[in-house]
Amino acid sequence: MARLPRLTLPGMAHYVIQRGNNQQPIFRDAQDYAVLKDLLREMARRFQVEVHAYVLLSTQFHVLATPETEEGLPQFMQSVGRSYVRYFNNRHGRSGTLWEGRYRSTVLEAPGYLLPSMVLLELQPVVEGLAVLPQDYAWSSCAHNAGLKQDSLVRSHTQYWALANTPFAREAAYQRVLEQGVGSMVAEEILEAASKGWALGSPDFVARLQQDTARRLTRRRPGRPVRASKNAGQPLSASAR
């Protein structure tokens, strides 16, 4: 089955996943992590993409970001991916692809999904046993969003700003949100939407997006497509109503 073209909308938040080929490690040491983080920072500025949260894991990285232009996010991810592969192959004496394929992403409705997506992303090191506390993991945005250190890569989303009126109160509020975690059903919903490219939000949100694109934004219903009957378009009889 052919993949759907990616949906990228300026001014809207996207959850993005890039995985290593065959689940192979994409980092071998701290320098590799630092180089990819630097590339994220450089390309985000170059292509006008605001990164709200990120996590670099051994075999993949996740980014929550809002592009200012329609082409910003694809250009950002392609430039990061190509530059990092060139660096990684040169440094480690290898050749060939590093990535599983093209990156995966979903457009999400910020009021309902922005903060859960941040929490899901920043809890991944704990889930994978890489840290006891998410803010202790060196290669994510968690310490910044929790107010423990500054990270110049991160630009806060309006949903984060809405948590409280002062920086200290916002950081404390976000720490409470982080401690609450995210339910397994919501986590699965976010990751599946990103992997499959479905728009993530309320039915009204998806319907509004669908008005502006011919691209399918939700999964097909199971089963074969319903064929039009011979009586299609004709009034129903009283017995069929």
Residue 57 DSSP SS3: coil
The pLDDT value recorded for residue 77 is: 97
CA atoms lying within 13 Å on the CB side of residue 34: 3
**8 Å CB contact between 63 and 70:** no
What one-character DSSP code corresponds to residue 238?
G
CA atoms lying within 13 Å on the CB side of residue 94: 12
* Rounded-to-integer distance, Cα 237 and Cα 235, Å: 6
Strands, E assignment, the chain: 14-19, 49-56, 60-67, 104-107
Q: Hey, what are 139's tokens?
A: 């290669």
Q: Which residue's structure tokens are 């499959």? A: 196
The pLDDT value recorded for residue 222 is: 45
From the number of C-beta atoms within 10 Å of its C-beta (0-12, 13-18, 19+), residue 112 rates as middle
- Report H helices in 93-226: 110-127, 142-145, 158-161, 167-180, 184-196, 203-210
Largest CA distance in the chain: 75
The pLDDT value recorded for residue 4 is: 54
**8 Å CB contact between 148 and 190:** no
* Rounded-to-integer distance, Cα 36 and Cα 126, Å: 21
Mean pLDDT by 10 residues, the chain (241 residues): 68 97 95 98 98 98 97 97 97 94 94 97 96 97 96 97 96 96 95 91 88 63 42 35 34
Residue 139 φ/ψ, nearest 5 degrees: -115, 50
Residue-range domains of the chain with CATH: 14-204 (3.30.70.1290)
